[in-house]
Amino acid sequence: MRYTPAGLPAIDVLLEHVSHLEEAGLERVVKATLKTRALGDLAKTISALPLGSERQFEGFLATPNQTKSVIFHLTQIQPIS
């Protein structure tokens, strides 16, 4: 975890998504890894989660200035129900 110049806790992590779905009548395994950023209390929550934890994440996608990569910015974390 790091701190922004304004003193907010911040953390950059990789989130991995895995799901199974049907496409064109065949089962498909979908995997994706997202660069993810959390600020404030969410950064503290993420830093306390054990590696491999399963949660539901909500947020938005943005591209940093002058890059083509996408970062998932977290706005909410919930247990999987």
CA–centroid distance for 39 within its chain: 12
The amino acid at 24: A
Mean pLDDT value of segment 1-5: 95
Distance between CA atoms of 42 and 37, rounded to whole angstroms? 9
Q: Return the closest-CA partner of residue 73 out of 32, 16, 15.
A: 15
Tokens 């998504």 label which residue? 17
Tokens 């998932």 label which residue? 72
Task: Tell me the CATH class for 2-79.
Answer: mainly beta
The amino acid at 5: P
Give the pLDDT of residue 6. 96
Asked if the model's pLDDT at residue 65 lies above 90, the reply is no
Q: Tell me: the pLDDT tens digits for 38-58? A: 999 999 999 999 998 899 999
The pTM (predicted TM-score) of the whole model is: 0.83
Extents of the domains making up the chain: 2-79
Residue 16 β-bridge partners: 33
